[in-house]
Amino acid sequence: MRDAYIVTSVRTPGCKRNKGAFKDTRPEDLLSFILGAAVEQTPNLEKEAVEDIMVGCAFPEAEQGLNIGRIASQIAGFPIGTSGATINRFCSSGLEAIAQSALRVMAGWADVAIGGGVESMTYVPMGGHMPRPHPEWTQLHADMYTSMGITAEIVAERYNVSREEQDEFACNSQMKAAEAKSKGLFTELVPTPATRFTQTPDGTFQRETVIQDVDDGIRESTTVEALAGLNPVFKANGTVTAGNSSQTTDGAAATVIMSEDKVQELGVTPIAKFKCYTTIGVHPDEMGVGPRFAIPKLLKLAGMDLADIGLFEINEAFAAQALYSVRELGIDMEKVNIHGGAIALGHPLGCTGAKLCATLLANMQATGAKYGVESMCIGGGMGAAALFELCG
């Protein structure tokens, strides 16, 4: 099997649902922009050379429906011959898209492919517009449809993750993200056009385009004391609050993957090899424990140990589940989410897996970490994890 080389991995900013910079920007526009930017940042690559584009999206309906992977690629100016698909594995959809694109290259079915993700939680709310759970199945297995916040409460209670630990973890996420923002360390972020409508004196609305160049959900003034004052939002007398949960966010990301032959032909310097990917199922009522089981499975497949891994990006769906997974596996917290996570930067569902890939690779380049692992829990009771090897 051939090697799959990642040559470019970029993301838009993550912006707050309904209140952020992308609240008036359609998801097709976010995705088409970052797809184009990924090609533009890859030396000597023309859009005509991209054979297929796979895009993760957790709720592919309404503005995100009708195969946004194909539609957005056409909006971005890729030729008719470049095919596109939309992939849904909820929170790991973007990583699933990258993995499947990498597999095409590894199998010899393509020399250039793009994997990415998009989610506008402003346009399509979590759960979608018309959720319709199976009525008889729900009576027996309501846990399959359990609120993600309730699953976080279950993890916190079942595995003794205290409110104080969650708030401290959340504050650290905000502080790391704030520092990275102030120092310009989000090198994977591409300033992105954002649409906004402003009211004119005559009462009509005018459409404008501005450039958004930062994640707008970071709260630089966060303190543990302030977080401790927030009320629980999912369970009376619970421990999960808005402050120690991920932010609902809009965003998009894209990763260009090539075969070794194409890398040499174009004279491109690759960032990393996509080495391994796996998923695993867990009980739906504690879906947040997914990384706890996905990471060991990944390392066993790769023949590696935790000590071999220099950096981790573990999605912070909730502080409770991220903290539990890190603690249970014995991962050094200094290696985890070094520039903050979804509590500060947002969790744009189907985009997150692609977004974290871009962040992880940028951080591996900056620190020289040879191996990096990305992992997340997944709604419905799953976990996913991927292994990357830095080139050079």
Active site amino acids:
91, 347, 377
Q: Helix, strand, or coil here: 334?
A: helix
Q: Helix, strand, or coil here: 43?
A: coil
How far is 214 from 153, CA to CA, in rounded Å?
31
**313: which 2 tokens?**
């990006």
Query: Is the distance from CB of 232 to CB of 242 less than 8 angstroms?
Result: no
DSSP code at position 121: T
- Cβ-in-10-Å burial (0-12, 13-18, 19+) of 255 comes to buried
With b for 16 or more beta-carbon neighbours within 10 A and e for fewer, the 52-82 pattern comes to bbbbbbbbbeeebbeebbbbbbebbebeeeb
Q: Helix, strand, or coil here: 362?
A: helix
**92: which 2 tokens?**
């790991």
**Residues in CB range of 124: below 8 A, 6 or more apart:** 27, 59, 61, 62, 63, 64
**What is the number of alpha carbons within 13 Å of residue 17 lying toward its C-beta?**
16
How far is 224 from 242, CA to CA, in rounded Å?
13
Q: Which of 310, 278, 283 is nearest to 294 (CA)?
A: 278
**Residues in CB range of 344: below 8 A, 6 or more apart:** 173, 174, 176, 177, 178, 215, 217, 218, 219, 247
- Gyration radius (Cα) of the chain, Å: 20
Q: How far, CA to CA in Å, does 256 sit from each of 6, 32, 37, 101?
A: 6, 14, 10, 9
**Residues in CB range of 319: below 8 A, 6 or more apart:** 161, 165, 166, 167, 169, 170, 173, 240, 244, 245, 343
* Chain Cα centroid distance, residue 33: 17
